[in-house]
Structure 1
Amino acid sequence: MSFIYLASQSPRRRQLLDQLGVAHRLLLPDDAAAAEALEAVRPGEAPAAYVRRVTRLKLDAALRRLHQQGLPPAPVLCADTTVALGRHILGKPADAREAAAMLRQLAGGTHRVITALALQAGERRHEALSDSRVRFAPMSETELADYLASGEWQGKAGAYAIQGRAAAFIAHISGSYSGIMGLPLFETHQIMRLARL
């Protein structure tokens, strides 16, 4: 294998693939709004089912782009991450007010971070799921305001990134640190082995 396509705009996923030593090229959506529309939650949808469905849709869209653009064939990797409080899915906040509401819900409690990934290699599709638990310490209103002012919450499911300033409030994790970042390395390695890459 010379390289794979990564169908993701996340710089963290690129860094994690680099960490594994996986050569990759980006295969990004032409229309960011259409890509975001794929992330709409269906009524009553469970978090794990949601993140699996969105990952499959993103991979299908990436495969269409690959074909339409006439790019050299190579495996395509896609992933999606969501934060869940019970059955409630916390997506990317639209603004600072929504981010503050999410962080108030997470502070002082435990939530799940679920990342689904899918790899298309030829005719075969391999999928995996990483399900981790994160316990947040309580946050004072001053701490919350300082965090919001940093802007780090923007574009992040649940309004935080574990590898950023929010790490100061993470009391405990159970599961995959890289999965919480957005690409679980163990599961990524496993599906690449299954695909013989």
Structure 2
Amino acid sequence: MGGREAPLVLTLASGSPRRRALLEALGYPLRVVPPGVVEEPLALPPQELALALARRKGEAVAGEWVLAADTVVELEGRSLGKPKDLEENYTFLRWLSGREHRVHTALYLRTPKDLVVEVHTAKVRFRPLSEEEIAWYVGSGEGLDKAGGYGAQGLGMALLEGVEGDFYTVVGLPVARVFALLWARGFRP
């Protein structure tokens, strides 16, 4: 029977619809497997926390080609994860209003030949927000499942004044870096 190789499939160890959509937009054949890892706060600096969580997610999923990621928002050395409720979302946005913060997205890429674990950072500036604007955004519910309590690619774009670095790092997946890593290893969309 002909020796045709089975097509490569990238296992995405994530339940994030944003990460899935970004990889699908590039044409990667995906198998999505949410890792079922609890993202409990660990006593680590923000960059190390992102790395630890991405590694934990990637190691929880089987497959030859596995990609996991985790995003942590850092404000003055403090990690802001996903808000636990609307009140915490409101608090996060008050803290971020008119200020600059960092967004760290860590990658875990396991291939048949190697393992890459790295973190990428972008700076984000929020414009000064009124209480009414914060209430509008929090009321949308969009920020509840996002690190820092906002989504730069959705309604949250109205909150931003600027981004220094890779915008997709802020969204939750440094797409150009993932593409380059996969391409260099012979995995083509």
* TM-score, length of structure 1 as denominator length: 0.87
Which residue pairs with 2:58 in the alignment?
Answer: 59
> Is structure 2 residue 106 aligned with structure 1 residue 116?
yes
Alpha-carbon separation, structure 2, partners of 1:60 and 1:3: 17
User: Once the 2 structures are TM-superposed, how far is the Cα of residue 123 of structure 1 from its aligned partner?
Assistant: 4.5
Structure 1 residue identity aligned to 2:42: R
Tell me the CA shift for residue 112 of structure 1.
0.5
**Residues 1:190 and 2:189 aligned together:** no
2:41 corresponds to 1:18: no
- Is 1:102 equivalent to 2:101 in the alignment? no
The letter of the residue matching 2:49 is Y
Paired position in structure 1 for 2:3: none
State the match for 1:48 in structure 2: 47
Q: Distance in 2 between matches of 1:190 and 1:128?
A: 13
The number of residue pairs the alignment matches comes to 181
Deviations 1:38-79 (CA, angstroms, capped at 9, x unpaired): x22333x211111011111111111xxx3xxxxxx5311100
Shift of 1:152: 0.7
**What letter is aligned with 1:75?**
W
Q: Distance in 1 between matches of 2:25 and 2:32?
A: 16
1:144 to 127, 134, 140: 134
Structure 2 CA distance for aligned equivalents of residues 158 and 98 of structure 1: 10
In the alignment, the residues of structure 2 paired with residue 132 and residue 75 of structure 1 have an alpha-carbon distance, to the nearest angstrom, of 26
Separation in structure 2 between the aligned mates of residue 41 and residue 154 of structure 1, nearest angstrom: 16
Q: Which secondary structure state, in structure 1, belongs to the residue aligned with residue 110 of structure 2?
A: strand
User: Unaligned 5+ residue runs, structure 2?
Assistant: 1-6
- SS at the partner of 1:117? strand
Q: Secondary structure at the match of 2:122?
A: strand
| Cα deviation 1:157-195 (Å, max 9, x = unaligned) | 100000111111101100111111111111101221343
Structure 2 residue corresponding to 1:4, chosen from 10, 30, 36: 10
Deviations 1:106-136 (A, max 9, x none): 0000001110111111252122321000000
Which amino acid is 1:74 matched to?
A: E
Separation in 2 of the partners of 1:102 and 1:91? 10
Partner of 2:4: none
User: d(CA) in 1 for partners of 2:34 and 2:42?
Assistant: 24
Q: 1:183 is matched by which residue type in structure 2?
A: L
**Equivalents in 2 of 1:20, 1:129: separation in Å?**
21
1:142 maps to a residue whose letter is E
Letter in 2 for 1:59: G
- Identity of counterpart residues, as a percentage? 36
Aligned residues: CA RMSD: 1.4
Q: 2:124 aligns with which of 131, 134, 139?
A: 134
